């Protein structure tokens, strides 16, 4: 499977995606995300103190997942340079309110400077949580990645990994043939060095997102089910399960339109709009850095090319905390994905 | 084409109160109570509902509880097993009545 970009698909163009999100929105502009925020007094949406610095190290990935909001894959060559990483390091050092550096991609480990970057972050900020969104199969993709669990342990990196289900059929249908079996092997390797084990201090969290046009169920119930099934069948342990709602952009948007589920999925998100979740959306305490150094309110806005609404500081090289802390967060109708039901963020539910 | 069942009608379910409000309110409040986590998990209740939906052959309920069981993290195998439970009980309900037939055969045969 190729990326939408390599297929020259119209939905590889953010403008096309935004046109669909606006023009085909159920109820039109009267039921837009902005209108919903206005009704609960949250518009314009403003940031809270910056805590999470999320960095996209590149769109290159060894997998081509059907729902990927990054449209990542082996055919994507966009990757963060060491120069941009250096600029990120300066911000990580100077922004003392930061508690978490969240490394994502693609497969962030495929960036040739990944290990140098992680070690540098750990050196300048021993206190910060470094989180890697690891797709698991990368650990087995090439012998040079086999020691990643040990590297993560050494640098006290938290591992967050997607596993859509505890059976092969559902996992492979979303993430590709053979992904489940390799993911199980990788989880065992992570357990072997202590990840996910009680009291080891090495955190291994899993991410569940629905494999279709429906919302995730209760995070705590799914976590209990995953823990039981993975332990009984494979002897695998992990810390927490995060449920994440699929955001209607990129490949998931393409799927929704192709399968004629777009309107009903959006209606579902709208009906489940939760003001408490809206107040806690992750874009309020996060800055997302693109592979090329541009700044966004979140990873989804990044993929839609919706840069922070602060033209003087829209690139990491022009970082200005004062301006960023008073910016207005850029929203659109895809944001309903984060406010439905118990809410959704890169760290699971929020309400 | 006109049909008796229209998926859009499922969304109007809550409007049944327009003709009889107090009974509808009581029904929906009871319904919400039934599906809450209790001695059975919400997930187990959803699978029971899916099986009953098939026994009753209610297209609205089948749509609703296929989505609900998926959302609650059930997989296709579990869902199909639930439908087989419904089928087994329905089939069994017919077959167990054959004992009455057998009794009658005995009664009136030489």
Mean pLDDT of A235-241: 98
Query: Which has the higher per-residue pLDDT, A351 or B16?
Result: B16
Of the candidates B42, B67, B76, which has its C-beta nearest A218's C-beta? B42
Mean pLDDT, residues A115-137: 98
Question: How is the beta sheet containing A241-243 ordered, strand by strand?
Answer: A241-243, A204-208, A157-162, A129-133, A100-104, A52-56, A286-289, A295-296
User: Which residues fall within 8 angstroms of residue A275, CB to CB, at 6 or more apart?
Assistant: A40, A42, A339
Q: DSSP assignment, residue A316?
A: G
Beta pairing partners, A60: A73
Residues 268 through 307 of chain A touching chain B, CB cutoff 8 Å: none
- Give the span between the Cα atoms of A32 and A39, in whole angstroms: 11
On the question of pLDDT at A167 being above 90, the answer is no
Q: Is A14 on the interface with B (CB under 8 A)?
A: no
Superfamily of domain B19-108: AhpD-like (1.20.1290.10)
* Res A171 pLDDT > 80: yes
In this predicted structure, what is the pLDDT of residue A351? 86
Mean pLDDT of chain A: 96
Asked if pLDDT for residue B84 goes beyond 90, the answer is: yes
Residues in chain A: 351
Q: Is residue A311 part of a domain?
A: yes
In the predicted structure, residue A224 carries a pLDDT above the cut 80: yes
What CATH number has the domain bearing residue A229? 3.20.20
Separation in Å, CA A191 to CA A178, A180, A233: 20, 16, 15
Task: Give me the residues of B, 78-97, that contact A with CB < 8 A.
Answer: none
Mean pLDDT, residues B6-28:
95
pLDDT of residue A30: 97
Provide the domain limits for residue A252. Answer: 10-339
Residue A277 in this model has a pLDDT that exceeds 80: yes
Q: Are B35 and B46 in contact (CB under 8 A)?
A: yes
Kindly report the CA angle at A236 between A232 and A241, in degrees rounded to 5?
100
| Confidence bin at A173 (pLDDT 50/70/90) | confident
Query: Is pLDDT of A188 > 90?
Result: yes
Higher model confidence: residue B68 or residue B1? Answer: B68
Query: Between chains, do B43 and A221 touch, taking CB under 8 Å as contact?
Result: yes
Q: What's the whole-number mean pLDDT along residues A237-266? A: 97
Q: Which of B73, B36, B105, B40 is nearest to A227 (CA)?
A: B73
In a domain, A348, yes or no: no
- Asked if residue A99 lies in contact with residue A92, where contact means CB atoms within 8 angstroms, the answer is no
Provide the H-helix boundaries in chain B: 7-10, 21-34, 42-56, 59-71, 76-96, 98-108
For A18-61, the pLDDT digits (tens) are 999 999 999 999 999 999 999 999 999 999 999 999 999 999 99
The Cα–Cα gap between A13 and A305 comes to: 9
User: Is A210 close to B75, i.e. CB distance below 8 A?
Assistant: no
pLDDT for res B23? 98
- Report, as an integer, the average pLDDT of A180-185: 96
Chain A residues within 8 A of B43 when measuring between CB atoms:
217, 221, 225
In the prediction, which pLDDT does A161 show?
A: 97
Which residue of chain A has the CA closest to B65? A214
Return d(Cα A214, Cα A342) in angstroms, integer.
14
Q: State the CB neighbour count (10 A cutoff) for residue B81.
A: 12
ipTM of the complex: 0.77
Domain count for chain A, please give it. Answer: 1
A94: nearest Cα among A312, A307, A320: A320
Domain spans of chain B? 19-108
Nearest-CB residue to A214 (from B43, B71, B76): B71
So what's the pLDDT on residue A307? 98
pLDDT at B4 over 80: yes
d(CA A147, nearest CA chain B) in Å: 33
Q: A218: which chain B residues are within 8 Å (Cβ-Cβ)?
A: 42, 72
A186 touching B (Cβ < 8 Å): no
- Residue A235 in domain: yes
Measured CA to CA, the distance from residue B79 to residue B77 in angstroms comes to: 5
Report percent pLDDT > 70 for chain A: 100
What's the mean pLDDT in A139-163? 97
Omega within 30 of 0 (cis) for the link into A289: no
**Residues A95-112: tens digit of each pLDDT:** 999 999 999 999 999 999
With contact defined as beta carbons under 8 Å apart, do A128 and A161 qualify? no
Q: How far is Cα A62 from Cα A332, in angstroms, rounded to an integer?
A: 30
Q: Do B43 and A214 lie within an 8 Å CB cutoff? A: no
A214 interaction partners in chain B (CB closer than 8 Å): 67, 70-71
Percent of chain A with pLDDT over 90: 95
């Amino acid at each position: 499977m190729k990326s939408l970009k390599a297929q020259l698909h119209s939905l590889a163009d953010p403008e096309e995606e935004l046109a669909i999100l606006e023009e085909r929105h159920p109820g039109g502009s009267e039921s837009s995300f902005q209108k919903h925020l206005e009704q609960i007094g949250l518009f314009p949406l403003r940031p809270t103190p910056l805590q999470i610095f999320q960095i996209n190290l590149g769109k290159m990935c060894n997998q081509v997942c059907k729902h990927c909001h990054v449209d990542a894959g082996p055919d994507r060559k966009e990757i963060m340079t060491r120069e941009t990483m250096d600029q990120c390091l300066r911000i990580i050092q100077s922004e003392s309110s930061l508690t978490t550096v969240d490394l994502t991609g693609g497969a962030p480990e495929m960036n040739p400077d990944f290990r140098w970057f992680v070690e540098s972050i750990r050196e300048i900020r021993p206190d910060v949580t470094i989180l890697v969104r690891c797709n698991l199969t990368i650990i087995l993709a090439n012998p040079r990645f086999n020691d990643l669990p040990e590297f993560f342990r050494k640098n006290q990196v938290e591992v967050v990994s997607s596993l859509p289900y505890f059976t092969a059929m559902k996992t492979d249908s979303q993430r590709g043939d053979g992904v489940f079996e390799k993911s199980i092997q990788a989880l065992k390797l992570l357990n072997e060095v202590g990840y996910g084990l009680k009291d080891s201090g090495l955190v291994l969290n899993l991410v569940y997102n629905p494999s279709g046009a429906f919302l995730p169920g209760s995070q705590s119930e799914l976590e209990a089910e995953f823990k039981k099934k993975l332990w009984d069948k494979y002897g695998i342990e992990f810390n927490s399960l995060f449920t994440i709602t699929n955001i209607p952009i990129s490949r998931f948007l393409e799927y929704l339109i192709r399968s004629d589920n777009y309107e009903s999925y959006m209606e579902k998100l709208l009906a489940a709009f939760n003001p408490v979740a809206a107040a806690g959306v992750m874009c309020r305490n996060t800055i997302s850095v693109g592979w090329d150094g541009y700044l966004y309110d979140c990873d989804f806005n990044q993929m839609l090319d919706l840069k922070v609404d602060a033209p003087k500081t829209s690139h990491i090289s022009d970082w200005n905390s004062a301006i960023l802390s008073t910016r207005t967060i850029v929203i659109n109708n895809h944001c309903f994905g984060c406010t439905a039901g118990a809410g959704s963020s890169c760290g699971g539910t929020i309400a | 084409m006109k049909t008796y069942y229209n998926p859009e009608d499922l969304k109007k379910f809550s409007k049944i109160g327009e003709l009889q409000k107090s009974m509808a309110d009581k029904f929906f409040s009871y319904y919400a109570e039934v599906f809450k986590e209790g001695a059975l998990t919400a997930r187990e209740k959803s699978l029971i509902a899916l099986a009953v939906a098939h026994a009753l052959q209610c297209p609205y309920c089948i749509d609703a509880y296929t989505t609900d069981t998926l959302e609650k993290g059930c997989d296709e195998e579990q869902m199909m097993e639930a439908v087989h439970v419904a089928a087994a009980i329905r089939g069994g309900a017919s077959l167990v009545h054959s004992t009455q037939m057998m009794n009658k055969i005995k009664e009136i045969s030489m």
